Amino acid sequence: MTKRNIILGITGSVATTMLFKLVDELEKNGFQVKVITTKASWLFVLSVFFRKPKKVFKFLKIWESGLLEFTGAFSKKKGNVRHINLVKWADTMLIAPASANTISKIVHALADNFLTTTALAMPQNKKIFIAPAMNVNMWQNPFFRKNMKKLKNEQMYQVIGPATGALQCGDEGIGKMASVSEIVERLNE
């Protein structure tokens, strides 16, 4: 099985609880994974850590930090630009879960964190898969719907889901992140 390199972006969503299952499935399917997190995702990432402490060390091994880029700025050595090195390494990128906030930033080319900067730096010949996860009302917001329409019109972006069902907040409707198996299946197409 040929290894494929994938950047996995994690954003602030309750669907982050599927992080370890997603990473395990990606690795079983021949992906070498590097994870980028947003600041908002850490509340959810930490809640997963407390329930699955043995997974912490594996996660830290594949976690990529923008701090490395900051410290590299003091280096006189060329090529020490972390987000550029990552996109050169990667065959593809997956943002799952993708919050309304991060999707909207990507649509408007706002690069104010390590994840959105990396997404903006991805060459157009590489695909970025986006698995949205949010409340049904956020998904149906007219401004957000316009952002999704723009995103879907760009060939390099592939949207996976969202699914319809019972949401963590108790609401029912569209906005649930696609299943891990559906995400991995789309990556393998």
Catalytically annotated residue among 145, 165, 169, 181:
169
Q: Is 145 a catalytic residue?
A: no
Indicate the length of the chain as a whole number. 189
Are residues 13 and 48 in contact, defined by beta-carbon separation less than 8 angstroms? no
pLDDT tens, residue by residue, 17-75 = 888 899 999 999 999 999 998 888 888 877 776 666 556 556 666 666 655 555 555 55
Is residue 162 reached through a cis peptide bond, with omega within 30 degrees of 0 on the bond before it?
yes
| Other beta carbons less than 10 A from residue 188's beta carbon | 10
Instruction: pLDDT band for 16, please (50, 70, 90 cuts).
Output: confident
Q: What is the pLDDT of residue 75?
A: 55
CA distances from 81 to 69, 74, 114, 139 (A): 6, 11, 11, 34
Domains of the chain, with CATH numbers?
Answer: 4-187 (3.40.50.1950)
Are residues 62 and 33 in contact, defined by beta-carbon separation less than 8 angstroms? yes
Collapsing DSSP states into helix, strand and coil, what is residue 143?
Answer: helix
